[in-house]
Structure 1
């Protein structure tokens, strides 16, 4: 028996979906290699920058470790070690939330916020340099909207686990 949601969705074109994914994946790999080769990172890795950037967008400027982990392609244990290293360098602080003694709250320090902004400005310039010339503004807006829809749609698609 099919669910009502399943009946209203058109059947996916398997080949086209696979080709679109492959194009997206290859574009990301190509761009990520260029970004990693940039000389803007100094003593921050791209993943460390991503932690600081994610915290910069968090409500109240802090996130529980598990929530920080949601948007990252890294095991939580690896993220925990990275956050520990960032804390040791004075870029983040960790604390225990008042409502969950087993949890960990992570927040950027003023130095971490400064480093994230400085690196972020340089990173945005390289993004514009690598991505901007490939597509006109209208197409960039369309691509952004399509990728946001693809990301948000995942919440409505059941896991196969």
Structure 2
């Protein structure tokens, strides 16, 4: 294995370890108010999108298999947080969006979660490091979506 390949794998391992550590820390926070972190991920993804999404489109934003995401969305629909509507461009398709209650829940949890994220990252990283991390994450995400 070349030095560059070894470095790439070490960077990947470091990224995964940091992610796992932070997720455990955030999961322990008292901010979730009846939604799981995975459910919040779906609410957040829907809140960030300008228009309702098909399930396959939503799957691009969350780390779940399509069957698991489908079951999770079913639970959010049953709880009145997500709405299913017919796709106007394809009568067989369904689009997903937040209900007013879902938007309120996402904002409430999201505001508290954002404080926790900021506290965790600013305790460890300088402003320059935060900017670099943001740029690297955006670069990797953009490259992956274009492949």
Corresponding position of 1:54: 45
- The structure whose Rg is larger is 1
Q: Distance in 2 between matches of 1:41 and 1:142?
A: 29
Corresponding position of 1:99: 89
**What is the TM-score of this pair, normalised by structure 1?**
0.85
| Aligned-CA RMSD value | 1.6
Please report how far the alpha carbon of residue 49 of structure 1 lies from its aligned counterpart in structure 2 after TM superposition: 0.6
Please report how far the alpha carbon of residue 41 of structure 1 lies from its aligned counterpart in structure 2 after TM superposition: 0.6
Q: Is the 8 A contact 1:65 1:103 kept in 2?
A: no
Corresponding position of 2:129: 139
The structure 1 residue matched to 2:17, chosen from 26, 49, 61, is 26
Please report how far the alpha carbon of residue 37 of structure 1 lies from its aligned counterpart in structure 2 after TM superposition: 1.0
Q: Which segments of structure 1 move beyond 4 Å, counting only runs of 4 or more?
A: none
Asked whether 1:68 is paired with 2:58, we answer: yes
Q: Distance in 2 between matches of 1:58 and 1:12?
A: 40
Q: Is the 8 A contact 2:31 2:109 kept in 1?
A: yes
Unaligned runs of 5+ in 2: none
Q: How many residue pairs align between the two structures?
A: 146
The structure 2 residue matched to 1:116, chosen from 98, 106, 116, is 106
Please report how far the alpha carbon of residue 105 of structure 1 lies from its aligned counterpart in structure 2 after TM superposition: 0.4
Using the TM superposition, name which of 25-34 and 72-81 deviates more: 72-81
Please report how far the alpha carbon of residue 154 of structure 1 lies from its aligned counterpart in structure 2 after TM superposition: 2.1
Unaligned runs of 5+ in 1: 1-10
Describe the superposition over 1:96-130 as per-residue Cα deviations: whole angstroms up to 9, x where unpaired.
Answer: 20222332200101111001000000000100111
Label 1:23 to 1:91 Cα distance change in 2 as closer, same or farther (>3 A): same
